[in-house]
Structure 1
Amino acid sequence: MIKERIMKKYLLFGVAVLCCIQGYSQTFDKQGQGARGLMPENTIGGMLRALDLGVTTLGMNVVISKDKQVVLSRKPYFNNEISLAAGWKGDSAEG
């Protein structure tokens, strides 16, 4: 009889904890390079496009170039398989 009461209390406590945890579940979305495949990576336009698509967190890697310019880049080189040619006109905030 006492064991049943104790088990019921633990069961109710466990159910209450699970209900509380479920209520606090959140999604976390992060985009680190802008809208890859839709816009050039690491550009203002790419980041704005990602925000337009509903991303709430942007991750960025910042490096300083040899001529003291701030550059958003994950690698010290550009991959021509995923980067568009130089002179692309859409890499500004307006583009």
Structure 2
Amino acid sequence: LLKAGLTPAAVQAGGLEAALNLATAGELRLADAAEIMSTALNAFKDDGMTAAQASNILAGTANASATDVMDLKYSLSMVSAVASGLGLSFR
């Protein structure tokens, strides 16, 4: 999580637990869940999301659609920078 750009304070404030929850919900390795969650947090910094909020959005999106969290990783890598630059929200 630290390597992916989260601050130590964010990790202590629930970032690790959020990554573990996302890994469980998405049936992912912890490293993958941390990377996906961090991508969303880093790309959409202006949203002021916590790690738990980002994790819940990702898991909820995967549960409500025909995609999975790993597919969301690829989507985020393709569009997050442009979407954030246009002022779109992750929420």
Relative to the length of structure 1, the TM-score reads 0.25
- Highest CA radius of gyration, 1 or 2? 1
Between Structure 1 and Structure 2, the one with more strand by share is 1
Between Structure 1 and Structure 2, the one with more helix by share is 2
